[in-house]
Structure 1
């Protein structure tokens, strides 16, 4: 029964460990939910949507009430009080044009949200793959330390048989010390990078992070279209801002046209005591129409000019941004090819050093071990393994950069 309980307990631990393990996609979802920067932009977007409703509203209706302290005598009686209501109406289509401009500006804010999300994802992926490199190097050094320990034991054994010297033992120990120092440095760097990663997710800085054991490498050419850069949210944002300025320019032009006002005056008239007066005490209704003509409209022309210049500035910014994104695409595409080639090369080099080590150890049966060559081979293998995981990290980061440039979230 104790054995069954032990198996059940171990099974629960394994299940819990798997359930708590999180992938990179899980971390991206956490960041999307927790990011205060994304939340801030989303609130701005909601505010922009409310702006559309605001700009669709006409001006306030004017209501007036007046009381004649000294009644104005008329033929049909004295005027006692006056009520008036009026409403100014903008030129036809002005409000719709303003709303369309506000909607385009809201779309631009949504593009800003998308761009901020992509940028955050790239930062998270970059940090994650840096953690992958550090964790991989830690594992590599740990394995090399185990191997050096076995070499040290072998050297001490051979020292008793006069087939090695104390110098060999000391060299192995020095190499172990150097690797231990490197291991401590890597572990400290991992802790610092772990804090950075957790802060990007806006969670406890000491939260555990599950790092993938390996990175999938596509040996064929990755499919990333340079033309897809045109759909990058930064460029879409500039397009929407330019279109919004165009609408604001049109709305300003309409504001420079006459506005029409309609209204109604109602006057209360008191009856006269004299009999037989036609319409005696009849109240007065007076509909009104007014036209406001902007005779001095320099401010409207000036505002239109401002919007035109702002549009030209956005066009220039779009060209510059396209060039920057294209340059980044070319650089990343070249780097990903270089990293892929390096991974293949280092994999071959590691296999070759392993073969050499096997041959050196096989020679032990017929002669003494050349520990100097053995250490040199181990150092070479360590260097190649470090280069390999470094290239894997670079490959993953550059792939993430190309996704940042071309992939639609």
Structure 2
């Protein structure tokens, strides 16, 4: 029974580990992020606005009772009830609805842009964690190598094939790497907290990062797809909403028609054979409202026209900014790709040089100064490679943010 329980726990732990991939973290972020939730609520509110602006004005119903009865031929008026409804000019409500629909679409675009930005932030932090993890591993490995060199130098010191200076140089380099390791570990701890907060979860939650990144050099990003970026689509929808609002304002400046009905209650007269005795009064009504002395509608139209020009200008500026980001990211992506290939060659060359130096140990004295220098170079190339891999993935994520749907 205990064995089965242990196997089950191990299986569940395995599933948990497998689940923590970058895509899973993106899913967690999209579900938990408070900013996205706030924008979602705004979008739902904007959809309700479509129903609101498409509704007719309130129907007016009034009831009156005559404190002093008004005598008519057929009897005294006792009370009156009236109902009226104002009707906007033809097409006014439709224009308001279309404006609200474009505003709702703009909120949806804002949601999509915020989601893309969130995914870029998650990916950027994730690959910064990858860099720190790899740096930690490389420093630990190199510290162990230096410990081996130190032991070897101490042995050679006993045989007069090395000097105490060699030993001290190795120890100083080891101390320097220990200091770097401490800094990296502190940064790694802080970055994990930042990553968990980005996912809006407990800051002490376990964060698992890949050991190796899958560099795919065949990625093709089309700059023309920037036109479909949600930020630009949002501005386009806001402009369309303003145009429809301008049309609605123009129609609001036209006459408003009202229809109504008055119903009067008449009391019977104490007169025999009186035609229509006590007959109630029914009076249909039509009213027309003219905005003769108001310039507010023309002023509002002018405001909306200027707003449209501002949006169009902002759209052009935003498009230029996104293109600049695209070109910079593409250039850095290319540079990172070249750097990765270069560092791989340098790492291999340094490894070969180190093997040559160690091979000489069997026949002659080890040159610890050269060996230490080669080891330092190799670590330098390894760290550069990790940095370039991180940079490549971040720039790739930036290009995805600009051109691709999540």
- Smaller-chain TM-score bracket: over 0.9
Pick from 144, 149, 152: which aligns with 1:151? 149
CA distance in 2 between counterparts of 1:14 and 1:365 reads 49
CA distance in 2 between counterparts of 1:252 and 1:9 reads 72
Which residue of the partner structure matches residue 274 of structure 2?
277
Pick from 382, 387, 393: which aligns with 1:396? 393
CA distance in 1 between counterparts of 2:72 and 2:217 reads 100
Which residue of the partner structure matches residue 264 of structure 2?
267
Secondary structure of 1:320's counterpart equals: helix
Which residue of the partner structure matches residue 173 of structure 2?
175
Q: Report Cα offsets for 1:226-266 as digits up to 9, x if no partner.
A: 00000000000000000000000000011111111111111
Which residue of the partner structure matches residue 218 of structure 1?
216
CA distance in 2 between counterparts of 1:327 and 1:50 reads 38
Structure 1 window deviating more from structure 2 (341-350 vs 291-300): it is 291-300
| CA gap 1:173/1:259 in 2 versus in 1, 3 angstroms | same
Q: Report Cα offsets for 1:304-360 as digits up to 9, x if no partner.
A: 111000000000000000000000000000000000000000000000000000000
For residues 318-357 of structure 1, the aligned pairs below 5 Å read 318-357=315-354
CA distance in 2 between counterparts of 1:285 and 1:12 reads 83
Secondary structure of 1:68's counterpart equals: strand
1:62 aligns with 2:93: no
CA distance in 2 between counterparts of 1:149 and 1:175 reads 10
Q: Report Cα offsets for 1:118-159 as digits up to 9, x if no partner.
A: 111111111111111110000001111111111111111111
1:41 aligns with 2:43: no
How far 1:103 moved relative to its partner? 0.6
Pick from 304, 309, 330: which aligns with 1:307? 304
**RMSD of aligned Cα (Å):** 1.6
Which residue of the partner structure matches residue 141 of structure 1?
139
For residues 221-240 of structure 1, the aligned pairs below 5 Å read 222-240=219-237
Secondary structure of 2:291's counterpart equals: coil
CA distance in 2 between counterparts of 1:162 and 1:244 reads 86
CA distance in 1 between counterparts of 2:12 and 2:388 reads 33
Q: Report Cα offsets for 1:144-177 as digits up to 9, x if no partner.
A: 1111111111111111211111211111111111
How far 1:219 moved relative to its partner? 3.3
CA distance in 2 between counterparts of 1:133 and 1:74 reads 96
Which residue of the partner structure matches residue 111 of structure 2?
113
CA distance in 2 between counterparts of 1:8 and 1:270 reads 91
Q: Report Cα offsets for 1:346-385 as digits up to 9, x if no partner.
A: 0000000000000000011110100000000000001100
CA distance in 1 between counterparts of 2:7 and 2:334 reads 44
CA distance in 2 between counterparts of 1:249 and 1:190 reads 54
How far 1:8 moved relative to its partner? 8.9
Structure 1 unaligned blocks of 5 or more: none
CA distance in 2 between counterparts of 1:169 and 1:8 reads 52
How far 1:10 moved relative to its partner? 7.5
1:191 aligns with 2:208: no
How far 1:296 moved relative to its partner? 2.1
Q: Report Cα offsets for 1:26-53 as digits up to 9, x if no partner.
A: 0010000110100000000010011111
How far 1:398 moved relative to its partner? 0.3
The size of the alignment, in residue pairs, is 405
Q: Normalising by structure 2, what TM-score?
A: 0.97
Q: Normalising by structure 1, what TM-score?
A: 0.96
Which residue of the partner structure matches residue 247 of structure 1?
244
Structure 2 unaligned blocks of 5 or more: none
How far 1:280 moved relative to its partner? 1.1
